[in-house]
Structure formats: C-alpha cells, structure tokens
Amino acid sequence: MVVSSPLRSILITGASSGIGQALAVALADPGVTLHLSGRDARRLAAVAVTCESLGARVLSRVIDVRDASAMAAWVGEAGPLDLVVANAGVAAGNRASVPETPEQTRAVLGTNLDGALNTVLPAMELMAGQQAGADGIRGRIAVIASIAAFIAAPGAAAYCASKSAIDAWVVASAPAARRAGIGLTSVCPGYIRTRMTARNSFAMPGLMDADRAATLILKGIMAQRTRLVFPWWMGAMARLVGLLPPGMLGRLMSEQSPARTGDRP
C-alpha cells in the first residue's frame, strides 16, 4: 500500500485502466478487500488478477455507473467501506470546430456527473451508519474531477461542465459531510498517462504517470484535503486561463481538447 492507513475495504469505479487501476494496485495488500467495477470485463479481470497477486481479496463487477439502482445496490452490498473512489469517466474529445453531438453530451454528463453521484450518494448514506474511528471519520470518499473543471474549453463542453459541476458539488458538500464523519475529496489532476490521453495529438504539459497520480491522490485523501489539484502550477494556469473573455479563450483553445485529461472506465 502506498500510504500507511486504516483503509481495508475499498470500492473503486472505472478500475479497469488508468487512475482507477493504479489506485487499485497501490491499495492491494493482504487483509484488504477491493470492490472494483468497470465496463471492460477483460481488462477488469486482469486488474483483479494483479491485485490478488499482491494479497488483496478482489470482488469485481461489470457495471454501468449511470444505472442508479444498480449502483445503490452494489455499494450497499459492499459495505461497510473505508474508502470509495468515484473514478469512472468518459470524454467526447472533439476539436473546438466540431460541436458535440447530443448523444456525446448526454453520455459524458451521464457518466461523469450522474455516475459520480450514483456512486457518492449511496456511499454517504452507507458511511453515515458506520462506526467512527479514533479520528472521527466514518469513511472517506474521493471523486476524480479534473483541472478541466476550471476552464470552459471549446471542444470539451460536456466534459468541462461535468467536471466543474462535480468538483463544485464535492467542495460545497464537504463541510457538512465532515461534521457527519465523512471525508469528501475532489481530485483535480492534469494530464495523466492513460489510454485516453494516448490519443492526444497535442502537447500535454505536466504529463504524469498514473502510478504517481495514485500516490498523490491517496496522500491527499488521508490528509483530508477537500480539493486536491496537481500539478499545482497547471491548476493555477487553468484558473487564470478560465478568466479570459470567452472569445479569446475560444481562439486560444481552438486546437486542443482538454476533455482527455481524465480516464475511461
């Protein structure tokens, strides 16, 4: 395990690749139970084998995070849980000159926003009934947002909107959740080396391996960070760029698609 922690029962969505896979492997240890989900059965099974070889008990399930009732049932059956990571995400990845189709918009928002809430809300309900530890925490929940949450980038409308919305919801909900003994963390990474970003044809400043990202994420969760942004300088730049007038922003971002800063389930 990357960090010394009381995390023994963990649920991760989008665990079949990228950040989700890296987190699962980092947390795999004897005595740890991993509840992993994804939509690619073959890749998910391969991740399960790796985690089991490290001593973890793995219970994996192919599930669509957009299915609220299925997610609620899965989270409820998995409990009690020390950590839940809502990681599953998709991106349209269009150029700024190519508008998203209605199907792309609904798919991205359905997975990145509704899917995250379908994971987090039943987890919060479950954890509210769990016994608090010595630190007063009943459970921890992390949502993988993105630095794209800070920029309304043409060509990535639904992606940026979904990440902005879920980041704002987590940050605004965190104080009340903390009073109930639940730690909420919004994780806003920059470009991570995954299957998704491998298709990008433009320069990706601050590109980071998923293993390194997993280490930072777990440290941030255990430090009870409400929002974790990395690399910090890229987050600062994104904030500044997001303040530009829409017309100027559109011209600046015309050849890039920040929608691919995340990961697919």
Which residues are known catalytic residues? 159
Q: Where are the beta strands (DSSP E) in 138-190?
A: 139-144, 182-189
Q: Check if the beta carbon of residue 263 is closer than 8 Å to that of residue 18.
A: yes
How many CB atoms are located within 10 Å of the residue 134 CB? Answer: 6
Radius of gyration of the chain (CA): 17
Residues 107 and 91: their CA atoms lie apart, in Å, by: 9
The gap between the terminal CA atoms of the chain, to the nearest Å, is: 22
Number of residues that this document lists for the chain: 265
Burial of 248 (0-12, 13-18, 19+ CB in 10 A): exposed
Beta bridge partners of 140: 83, 183
Tokens of 265: 């389930």
- What does DSSP say about strands 57-62 and 9-12: parallel, antiparallel, or unpaired? unpaired
3-state secondary structure 62-131: ECCCCCHHHHHHHHHHHCCCCEEEECCCCCCCCCCCCCCCHHHHHHHHHHHHHHHHHHHHHHHHHHHCCC
Strand partners for 185: 142
